[in-house]
Structures are given as C-alpha cells and as structure tokens.
Amino acid sequence: MHLRLLPILLIACCCSCSQDTERRDDYAIQGIDVSRYQSVVDWDKIAAQEVHFAFIKATEGATHTDSLFERNWKQIRAAGIRRGAYHFFRPRTPAVDQANHFVAAVRLENGDLPPVLDIEVLDGINPRTLVPALKTWLVLIRRHYGVRPILYTNLHFYNKHLAGQFADYPLWIARYGDELPVLACGRSWQFWQYGSRGTLEGIDGYVDFNVFAGDWDLFNQLSYGHFPALSAN
C-alpha cells in the first residue's frame, strides 16, 4: 500500500508480483486503494469499471498529509464510489499525535467506510510496544467518529506481530496471489488486497486490487452513519 518494495512482501509474493494482477470474478464487491503514487485519477472512468469502493491515503505519522488526498476524497464521492481514508502508522511517533493528525484531515460523511489504520513497519521499535500504540490510535479514532476503524497490514506482519489482538476491529489483509490469506489466530478477514499490479482505465500505471468478503448487507453495515442500501444493480 505504502512501501511496495518491502522485502517481506517481495519474498512472499515474488512470483505473483512480477505479473500483472487479473481482477477476480469470485467476489461481488470490488475495490482499489490509491495514494499520490497513482497521480491524478479519473474517478468517473474508474466508476464505470465496476469498482465499488476505494481506500485512499490521507495521512502518515503526525505531520504528513497525502498531496492528492483532498482531490481524491471529493472526486471519489462525486463519482458514486464508496470511499475510505487510511493512515500510515509510524511506530516511533506518539499514537495520540497521529490520531489527532488524521482527525484534523478527514471528515467522514454518511456512507463512508470506516477509517483505516495501516501498519506495515516497526521502524526499529520493540515489537512489544506496538500493540498498545495501535490500540491507542484505534480507540481514539473510534471515540471520535463513532465507528470501528479497519486494521490493514500484510499477512506476514499480522501473523508475526498482531495475531490474537484487535478482535473487535475489521481486518484488511494484503496477500498477493491466488491463495486466500490464512490468519494464524484463525479469525476471518473482511477485505483482501490480492495484487499490486492491477490496471484500470483512468489510472496511469499500476493500482492495488481488493475485494470484500461478504454480501452487500454486510458491506453497508460497515458504513459511517446512514447510507441507502447499495446493490450490484
């Protein structure tokens, strides 16, 4: 999502990452995620290709805001795509400061997906201190918006550092290739990022492909506030 050249992900999916990602047709609800690395996106063209949701990078650490966040945030909604914003967590930066930064940048409206906490790196900290810091961010964001945030990470990082934690929060797992992510603690995931080399008209270059593991009723239940029921029609 953020650091595409992480050695862990390259080792885990070197074969699948070297080929273009084909969109799966076995999930009804399809999505993508973007940041400034995708440059300017034509969201009307994206909406015409049966993309139902899009997560976009909003913030990182306590000071950085993605340069294209505001543009993407407005245009995704105008195009009729369900939108969500994510924060890239920096473990060396106080979680309270990071939560405040996200809140200052992101205003949710009815129908938006919950905020996402993206954790992929330790930044050299003791792993034992990571979970309490993540819980602080999640609790503060949940208290502010009144909705459970989503936790994003890759399969290896989750199984090594996070398994057995965060049972109350939806999971978005990155595992590239055809094999489903299997979590060490046995719980289920809600979103799956299955490839990073997808192509769509309206995006110059590659984009991550994602799916939601559920039907439209479950998808709508995740939304912030009230939103009319969506369907594939």
For residue 189, the one-letter residue type is W
Q: Residue 88: in which H helix or E strand, if any?
A: strand 82-88
Please report, rounded to a whole number, the percentage of residues in the chain having pLDDT higher than 70. Answer: 89
Q: Residue 191: in which H helix or E strand, if any?
A: strand 191-198
In this prediction, residues 38-48 reach a mean pLDDT of 97
Read off the pTM.
0.89
Q: How confident is the model at residue 233 (pLDDT cuts 50, 70, 90)?
A: very low
pLDDT given at position 11:
44
* pLDDT tens-digit readout, 84-139: 999 999 999 999 999 999 999 999 999 999 999 999 999 999 999 999 999 999 99
pLDDT averaged over the chain? 91
Query: Of 60, 66, 118, 120, which residue is the catalytic one?
Result: 120
What whole-number distance in Å separates Cα of residue 99 and Cα of residue 25?
36
Tokens at 194, concatenated: 């299955």
State yes or no: is 33 an active-site residue.
yes
pLDDT given at position 8:
42
* pLDDT tens-digit readout, 178-197: 999 999 999 999 999 999 99
Query: Within 13 A of 172's CA, how many CA atoms are on the CB side?
Result: 28
3-class secondary structure, 139:
helix
Query: Of 33, 66, 118, 208, which residue is the catalytic one?
Result: 33
Does domain 7-15+29-221 sit in CATH 3.10.450.50? no
State yes or no: is 168 an active-site residue.
no
